[in-house]
Structure 1
């Protein structure tokens, strides 16, 4: 009998984590990525203690912490006056109370570490999925380059426009949220030369828009901002379009001088639509299962979207290790039962854009340890 195989479609942060964790659980796993290579694209990301504890299992926790910035606080400030709404302790407090560091890091640096955790030769680039057929005994995958692969189960980690989700539920465009995000990376030397005093991790708020800003490296030589701004319609082609300082100054008119200085210091600004979906009726069918943005996309306002995908990967690996691939159906059911409530709660809070605006306790998110979560068929988060 040939060894049982798992195919993961998508090698983003969730797919890479799932692949490495399933491999460590003893499964034969191949990861298929439609891009022909990965590059260090200009985006930052937060990795909370809940995810860093998963990275500990992958052996990359220390490397992530060394590369990224470890802010002592998440600060929330009034966008106009600069008054502080909240000062959420991180730093040593997070390490002590939540069991791991809170890190802000460049997405490309993090991704490189995750990819290196995969077994050599198991990541396949330039594999755009064109056909999927679950014949009951296995799943046949056909790619645009003409190659084929057969697997016992397939994990859809291929994002909000997932082909695996489409195979399960039919074609349906994601919903445009009515918001866009502006993104820019600014050299730390530029800010220093301009005399702009920035904080390591701060969110500037007014009633209908915000800017989140933070360092992406331990050396603090890069500072990143991402916004959430109402925009009536997404009338552009592609995932993003260039934006201008003028557009951003208009969007943030009346905001604090630090925000104005950040906008003025940004050489390249991109604008992205924020998309989401209504909760899906199912996360799996037959031999196919979804994780991350393929099944519960959310606005990025809580900085937990990628974290939920990585948690999904860890829980899926736990559940399949419990049941084995010979009983994958029970493994899928166990996975969804132990993930749906938590992922849905985070999705709702993130979409509402209220996270840490006030002096609240984030322990239900940051203190969570997926490996201490007792598995149950009707488990809650």
Structure 2
């Protein structure tokens, strides 16, 4: 007997099962999508190869959240005041030239920057902690996926790392948040490769908790009097570095230097460094940077090298019921503070499109997502590539290599983050 046939129409609608999305990747792009899709009325499963959440991990580095990302995260978690507590203000974007005498001059300065600084692990924990823990499948390594013949469902296979068994998860939508080396993107674009930028970055996070009154910190604050609210860029011919403060008494620093592409293992874009490599880094840095930055570098535990890649803009980022988000959709160089912000905005736009069209119009929803995000992200990726080449003094078409010590005002204008396409007015819906 069909006990539902006499129910009112409204109650019948309530019995309709929620659509289900499987998100591959539990980094910031993945957890952001989980928030956005739950708000859009979807059930969520997140597959992540890490065996546990990175809570309390020193992994990752500093990042800058723009105003829209701050608003979106606050709406997702319902705790905007907590986001404020785990971030610190970045109200100034400052580019400076440093010469052989280690003196600086201002190239470009923006005082209404409206970003906030965060540590990757803190931001991830903030987003993750506001989600139902049961939606995560930790220790699941993505293997493959298949779309049903009628394009109505997708099946994901993953290896359970603890048991080596193969798990199968089915859903109505596959969200690929599986990073810049995305196997899912590679399925559709096997010939698309990551593009080496021509330079790598030494980077680290210096924890000065408990030594706030040390000579190192006094010197660095004297040399950088606006730390705590300023994103500092120092530029020397063929080099640039970044320095800014993040919460819990930490300084985030990055030094970009031109070099041949390193040999990397697997899909990682970071490389292990030896004590000898670190000592040589200190010696080379002393020839270029201010002594206060050298001291911060020397006192940073476990600095590492990050090879810098991006990818030429893709022709599409949706296929049937499969969608790319975050670095899977648009690997980018880090010069315009866009990678995390683009991932958060991808999630927000995807969620709003799914809510607008409903699960019965999934193809239309994904088509609109692509129409909104693809042109914006493509322009931002290419802009970040150009800015990186400018700051590193690399060649550009119809343009002499940039020299920060002789650059004119027009050349320096490109250095500002507000020169990024769509800065401050990213569309959420068409």
TM-score strictly above 0.5: yes
Aligned counterparts, 1:362-377, within 5 A: 362=418, 365-368=422-425, 370=427, 373-375=428-430
1:167 to 175, 187, 194: 187
Find the residue that maps to 2:89 and give its secondary structure.
coil
Are the equivalent residues in 2 in contact too, given 1:155–1:290 (CA < 8 A)?
yes
- 70, 80, 85: which one aligns with 1:61: 80
Tell me, what secondary structure is at the counterpart of 1:289? strand
**Cross-structure match for 2:214:** 192
In the alignment, is the contact (CA less than 8 A) between 1:48 and 1:366 conserved in 2? no
Query: What secondary structure, in the 3-state scheme, does the structure 2 residue paired with 1:196 have?
Result: helix
Checking the alignment, whether the CA contact within 8 Å between 1:245 and 1:263 is kept in structure 2 is no
The Cα of 1:290 is off from its aligned counterpart by 0.3
- 2:259 — aligned with what? 231
In structure 2, the CA distance between the partners of 1:121 and 1:130, relative to structure 1 (3 Å rule), is same
- State the Cα deviation string for residues 17-46 of structure 1 (Å, max 9, x = none): 111111012111111111112332141111
Which residue does the alignment assign to 1:286?
320
Q: Structure 1: how far apart are the matches of 2:374 and 2:94? A: 29
Aligned residues: 362
1:169-196 Cα shifts (integer Å, max 9, x gaps):
2365422222111111112327833233
Note closer, same or farther for the CA distance 1:374–1:20 as it changes in structure 2 (3 Å cut). Answer: closer
Given the alignment, which residue of 334, 337, 344 partners 2:371? 337
Alignment-derived partner of residue 385 in structure 2: 351
TM-score by length of 2: 0.78
Partner of 2:37: helix, strand, or coil? helix
> Which of the pair has more CA radius of gyration?
2
Cα shift at 1:257: 2.8
Alignment match of 1:211 (pick from 241, 244, 251)? 241
1:246 is paired with a residue whose SS is: helix
Q: Secondary structure at the match of 2:384?
A: helix
Task: Report 1:124-163 matches (<5 A).
Answer: 124-135=137-148, 136-145=151-160, 146-163=166-183
Tell me the residue number matched to 2:109. Answer: 87
The 5-angstrom pairing of residues 257-336 of structure 1 reads: 257-336=291-370
Q: CA deviation at 1:287?
A: 1.3
Residue 50 of structure 1 deviates from its aligned partner by: 2.2
Which shifted more, 26-35 or 241-250? 241-250
* 8 Å Cα contact 1:183-1:271 kept in structure 2: yes
- Tell me how far apart the structure 2 counterparts of residues 286 and 160 of structure 1 sit (CA, whole Å): 21
SS in 2 for 1:147: strand
Give the CA deviation at 1:236.
Answer: 3.7
